[in-house]
Amino acid sequence: MHIADDHVRAQHFSFRETSLKEPHMMILRSTPPSPFGRKVKLAASVLGLSGEIKIEPADTNDDNDSLRRQNPIGKIPVLVLEDGSTLYDSRVILEYLDHRAGGGKIIPAQPGARFAALRLQALADGATDAQILVLYEGRWRAPEHHVKKWLDYQTDKIMRGLAALEAEPPSLDAIPNVGQIAVACFLGHRDLRFAGDWRASHPKLVAWLDRFAAQVPAYAATKVAA
């Protein structure tokens, strides 16, 4: 199918909710606030694959959740394929979805564009990981045990990532690539967990995210409240 046809299909965003008994469906184990689960949902949408995926919530803190058998690390997202095999993490899942959609859609085939997209994804994912580590410091340690040096170290990663993206905002392909999807999820996570504190000092990125959201209806559809 031509890319233009895929882009038309990408405007339809609808995931099936749960029930492991339904055959011939992939299952996404995730949680609504997960930025990496959101990456998978956005990729599935722009590739026209949303209707082939059911969402099943996962509890990473529950020893009895089957998530730990599906991914021994116990992290989300996990994609359970129709034959019961599993894929993780989000980068692997996005590559699989691109392959399933015919290849060369969200991971460009041309080497220059391919590695630019993968590098952008690495930058955005790394900054998102740092944000999650900052959150975990507050979530898992009492305030008197917070380690300022550790928090500063992670925060510096985030600020450098934002500065690099503001200095050179990403392009936006007709079908957003994995890097562009990852940047949108990084910024969305910043909005969700850090009250959008990046916006005032990064106007080019704000404008870029507005364009991404206008182009990808699934971005609004996957937004959650804090």
| Identity of residue 200 | A
E strand or H helix at 17, and its extent?
strand 16-17
Intervals of the chain under pLDDT 50: 1-13, 17-20
Angle at 211 between CA 123 and CA 182, to 5 degrees: 25
Q: What is the pLDDT of residue 3?
A: 37
What pLDDT does residue 10 have? Answer: 37
What's the pLDDT at 4? 35
| Per-residue model confidence (pLDDT) at position 152 | 97
Position 146 scores a pLDDT of: 87
Domains and CATH numbers, the chain: 3-100 (3.40.30.10), 111-221 (1.20.1050.10)
pLDDT of residue 11: 40
Q: What local confidence, expressed as pLDDT, does residue 15 receive?
A: 57
> Residue 80 phi/psi, 5° resolution?
-95, 120
| pLDDT value for 24 | 78
- Identify the DSSP state of 110: S
Amino acid identity for residue 95 in this structure: E
- Residue 212 parent element (H or E): helix 203-215
